[in-house]
């Protein structure tokens, strides 16, 4: 179904999922403005917002099913398989986080149903970011997402940690936005265009000027902040620890995924001609990120903080796929982010169930002996850890394998080796979690008696765990989907690697 994006109706069609979700967010907002008193209202708002995600998924599915594509130039928003795939991924993350949040918020005494519209708006921002075909959309999407997440990070405002997390995230995030914006300005200055395709064509035609290089560099810095690449990562552990746990999950998966999708698109469509310039940057970032993330995670005692560092390391792994700059790389980004998001959501879901109201963050030692009391939860968390580790038989392994393949097929061996060194280090902090839960005895009689694992969350987590194992040994569906031509980004034909 060709869509003319220059006509208003075409634009509405192309933005249908985002529009639906935004409108629904407003509807929910209206509802919560009217009723925001007790747990029942919280639950209703959550359920309502889930409906919004379902609408958006349906719209995305419809567009994908009809084979929507831009007639002529993609103006403002991309219309390709990659956008639909990334939208689907982001929507599922948002939905899952919503499910995890419902009971958790009530239990923590956070009775403010504005949470859900904000989550939806953040999702809209993510979708815009991931689907943008124009630097303006990119910036707007980024800011919509960021501003919503700033609020969400500080949502538990009665806790100082949450407020502090919001402040840190906000200040450094705004600072980073400045860099990104300056990069956009310089890129605009160098080409006179905001549209990805047009800029790409411009760069392909002329050698990069100083302004173009600086512009690209600043945009890369902006993204490096969002994906929490070292040395732009420093906010992540603090914010992850301070933010409400479901929001941590949301940031670790959704925000990161959206940023990666956008970065992949920008590198593939805007800067393909400068591949020789940005590859070394990614190379260095990836190595430092993988090593610092994994090493620092070793010395953590708080689970959330440990997972924060681990997510930094995973950002490093993902850069392998971006470095590859190939269809395999794109497929790897999709698969890896899916695997990573499933695993992380499940892990945070289980952690959220262990947290007690108002208590400090869950420490590694708090998990000791969990298996004896909660065998399934601890088995689930163990499987998550193995999947994050990239252990064969789990979905995480499939993702990691694709990443390594993508890089190796481009003749790059150093990054995969460093990635595996990173994995080897990471066993040093994933394994103790398994060890604490399954092999150590409980500290006290009363341990783990306060765990509340509400049914919706339990089902969501169970589905995630099942998916981790199923796709670990039967990844065909996912792999075939991700390696279809239709979900790939338009890669300019370039002389790359030994291929």
Partner 1 sequence: MAAFLASIGYAHWVIHVLLALPILAMPVILFAPVKSARYIAFGVALTELVVGIGLWWAFDPTRGGMQFVTDITWVEGFGIGYRVGIDGLSVLMVLLSVIMLPLVVWSSWRGIDQKQRGFYALIMALNTGMLGVFVATDLFLFYMFWELLLIPMYFMIGIWGSSNRLYAATKFVIYTFVGSFMMLVAIIWMVAVVGRATGAYSFAYANLLEHADLLKPWGGWLFTAFALAFAVKVPLFPFHTWLPDAHTEAPTAGSVDLAVILLKMGTYGFLRFAIPFFPQFALSKTVGTVMATLAVIGIIYAALVAMVQPDLKRLIAYSSVSHLGFVMLGIWGSTVESVQGAIMVMVSHGLSTGALFFMVGMLYERRHTRKISDYGGLARVTPLLATAFVITAFSSIGLPGLNGFVGEFLVLIGSFGRYPWLVGIAATVVVFSAGYMLWSTQRVFFNRLTNPLNEGIGDLNLRELAVIVPLIAAMIWIGLYPGPLLRRTAGAAQQYVEMVQSALPKAALPDPGAPR
Partner 2 sequence: MIQLVWLAVLLPLIGAVLNGILAIRRPGAKTAVSVIGVGTLLGSFGVAVGTFTELLHAPVASFRVLLWQWLPVSDRFSVDLAFQVDHLSAVMLLVITGVGGLIHLFSVGYMRSDPGYARYFAYLNLFIVFMLVLVLGASLPVSYIGWEGVGLCSYLLIGFWYEVDTNSDAGKKAFLANRIGDFGVLIAMFLLWWSLGTLEYTGITMRAGAEFSIGSTMPLLIALFLFLGCTGKSAQIPLYVWLPDAMAGPTPVSALIHAATMVTAGVFLVVRTAAIFTLAPVALEVVAIVGALTAFFAASIGLRQYDIKKVLAYSTVSQLGYMFLGVGTGAFASGIFHLITHAFFKALLFLGAGSVIHSMHHALHHARSHADAQDMRNMGGLRRWMPWTFALMLLATLAIAGVPPFAGFFSKDEILAAAFARGTEQPIYLVCWALGLVAALMTAFYMARLVAMTFLGKYRGGDMSAAHLHEAPLMMTAPLVVLGALAVAGGLINLPHFAGGHAWLEHWLEPVTEVAAMVMKPLPELARSQEALLILLAITAAVAGLIGGYVLTSRTVIATPEHAAPERGLWRVLYHKFYVDELYQLVFVNPVMWVSRTALWQTVDAFLIDRIGVGGTARVAEGLGWLGSRLQNGQVAFYVAMFAVGAVLILRTLVR
Partner 3 sequence: MLLGPSLALSAVLFVLGVAGVLIRRNAIVVFMCVELMLNAVNLSFVALARLHGVSGQIMVFFVMTVAAAEAAVGLAIILAIFRHTQSVDLANINLLKG
Residue number, 57 or 388, with CB nearest to partner 1: 388
Residue number, 263 or 313, with CB nearest to partner 1: 313
User: 345: closest CA among 162, 73, 89, 78?
Assistant: 89
Site for partner 1 (CB under 8 A): which residue of 12, 424, 459, 494?
424
Q: Is 150 a binder of partner 3 (CB under 8 A)?
A: yes
Q: Is 152 a binder of partner 3 (CB under 8 A)?
A: no
SS3 state at 77: strand
Residue number, 74 or 412, with CB nearest to partner 2: 412
Q: Is 360 a binder of partner 3 (CB under 8 A)?
A: no
DSSP state of 363: B
DSSP state of 497: T
Q: 499: how many CB neighbours lie within 10 A of its CB?
A: 9
Site for partner 1 (CB under 8 A): which residue of 86, 326, 405, 488?
405
Residue number, 187 or 410, with CB nearest to partner 3: 187
User: 100: closest CA among 360, 340, 352?
Assistant: 352
Site for partner 3 (CB under 8 A): which residue of 185, 291, 363, 427?
185
Q: 58: how many CB neighbours lie within 10 A of its CB?
A: 14
Give me the least distance between CB of 495 and partner 1, in Å please.
15
Residue number, 184 or 347, with CB nearest to partner 1: 347
Angle CA(408)–CA(410)–CA(414) in degrees, nearest 5?
Answer: 50
Write the binding mask 110 to 149 for partner 3: x where contact by CB under 8 A, - elsewhere: --------------------------x--xx--x---x--
Q: Is 438 a binder of partner 1 (CB under 8 A)?
A: yes
Residue number, 77 or 91, with CB nearest to partner 3: 77
Rounded to whole angstroms, the Cα distance separating 353 from 343 reads 16
Rounded to whole angstroms, the Cα distance separating 92 from 56 reads 10
SS3 state at 244: coil
Give me the least distance between CB of 296 and partner 2, in Å please.
3
Residue number, 208 or 416, with CB nearest to partner 1: 416
Give the binding site for partner 2 (CB under 8 A): 167-168, 171-172, 175-176, 179, 210, 213-214, 216-218, 220-221, 224-225, 230-232, 234-235, 237-238, 277-278, 280-281, 284-285, 292, 295-300, 425, 428
Rounded to whole angstroms, the Cα distance separating 385 from 379 reads 10
- State the binding partner of 39 from partner 1, partner 2, partner 3, none, CB within 5 to 8 A by kind: none
Question: How far apart, in Å, are the Cα atoms of 116 and each of 73, 157, 363, 417?
Answer: 35, 16, 28, 42
Return the CA Rg of the chain.
21
Q: 358: how many CB neighbours lie within 10 A of its CB?
A: 11
Q: Tokens for 169, please give them.
A: 């995230």
Site for partner 3 (CB under 8 A): which residue of 94, 102, 166, 383?
166
Q: Is 178 a binder of partner 3 (CB under 8 A)?
A: yes
Size of the site for partner 1 (CB under 8 A): 33
40: exposed, middle or buried (C-beta count within 10 Å: 0-12, 13-18, 19+)?
exposed
Give me the least distance between CB of 491 and partner 2, in Å please.
21
| Residues 25, 121 contacting (CB under 8 angstroms) | yes
* Element of type H or E holding 69: strand 69-70
- State the helix-helix crossing angle for 327-354 and 455-473, rounded to 10 degrees: 140
| Residues 321, 330 contacting (CB under 8 angstroms) | yes
- State the binding partner of 157 from partner 1, partner 3, partner 2, none, CB within 5 to 8 A by kind: partner 3
Candidates 79-87, 175-183, 254-262, 425-433; binding stretch for partner 1 (CB under 8 A): 425-433
User: 152: closest CA among 185, 193, 115, 186?
Assistant: 115
Residues that bind partner 3 (CB under 8 A): 136, 139-140, 143, 147, 150-151, 154, 157, 160-161, 163-168, 170-171, 174-175, 177-178, 181-182, 184-186, 188-189, 192-194, 237-239, 241-242, 300, 305
Interacting residues toward partner 1 by CB under 8 A = 386, 391-393, 397, 401, 404-405, 408-409, 413, 416-417, 420-421, 423-424, 427-428, 431-432, 435, 438-440, 473, 475-476, 479-480, 483, 498-499
């Amino acid at each position: 179904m060709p869509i003319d994006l220059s006509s208003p109706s075409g634009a509405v069609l192309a933005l249908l999922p985002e529009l639906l979700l935004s409108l629904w967010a407003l509807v929910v907002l209206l509802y919560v403005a009217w009723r925001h008193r007790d747990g029942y209202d919280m639950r209703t708002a959550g359920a309502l917002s889930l409906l919004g995600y379902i609408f958006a998924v349906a719209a995305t599915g419809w567009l994908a099913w009809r084979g929507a594509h831009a007639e002529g130039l993609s103006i403002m928003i991309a219309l390709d398989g990659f956008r639909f795939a990334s939208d689907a991924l982001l929507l599922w993350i948002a939905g899952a986080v919503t499910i995890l949040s419902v009971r958790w918020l009530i239990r923590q005494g956070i009775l403010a149903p504005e949470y859900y519209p904000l989550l939806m708006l953040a999702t809209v921002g993510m979708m815009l970011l991931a689907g943008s075909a124009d630097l303006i959309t990119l910036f707007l999407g980024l800011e919509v997402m960021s501003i919503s997440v700033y609020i969400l990070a500080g949502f538990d405002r009665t806790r100082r940690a949450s407020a502090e997390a919001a402040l840190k995230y906000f200040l450094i995030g705004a600072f980073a936005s400045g860099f990104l914006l300056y990069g956009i300005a310089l890129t605009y200055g160098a080409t006179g265009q905001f549209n990805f395709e047009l800029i790409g064509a411009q760069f392909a035609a002329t050698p990069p000027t100083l302004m173009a290089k600086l512009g690209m560099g600043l945009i890369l810095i902006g993204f490096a902040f969002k994906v929490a690449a070292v040395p732009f990562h420093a906010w992540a552990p603090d914010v992850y620890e301070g933010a409400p746990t479901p929001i941590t999950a949301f940031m670790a998966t959704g925000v990161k995924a959206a940023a990666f999708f956008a970065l992949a698109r920008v590198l593939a469509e805007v800067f393909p001609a400068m591949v020789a310039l940005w590859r070394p940057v990614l190379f260095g970032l990836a190595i430092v990120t993988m090593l610092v993330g994994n090493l620092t995670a070793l010395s953590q005692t708080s689970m959330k903080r440990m997972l924060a560092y681990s997510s930094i390391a995973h950002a490093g792994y993902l850069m392998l796929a971006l470095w590859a700059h190939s269809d395999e790389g794109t497929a790897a980004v999709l698969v890896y982010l899916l695997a990573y998001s499933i695993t992380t959501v499940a892990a945070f879901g289980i952690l959220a169930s262990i947290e007690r109201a108002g208590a400090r963050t869950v420490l590694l030692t708090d998990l000791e002996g969990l298996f004896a009391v909660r065998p399934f939860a601890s088995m689930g968390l163990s499987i998550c850890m193995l999947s994050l580790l990239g252990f064969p038989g789990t979905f995480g392994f499939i993702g990691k394998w694709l990443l390594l393949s993508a890089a190796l097929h481009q003749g790059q061996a150093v990054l995969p080796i460093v990635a595996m060194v990173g994995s080897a280090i990471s066993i040093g902090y994933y394994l103790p979690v398994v060890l604490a839960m399954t092999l150590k005895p409980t500290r006290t009689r009363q341990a783990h008696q306060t765990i509340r694992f509400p049914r919706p969350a339990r089902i969501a987590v169970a589905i995630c765990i099942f998916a981790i194992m199923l796709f670990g040994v039967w990844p065909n569906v996912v792999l075939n989907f991700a390696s279809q031509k239709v979900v790939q980004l338009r890669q300019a034909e370039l002389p790359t690697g030994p291929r």
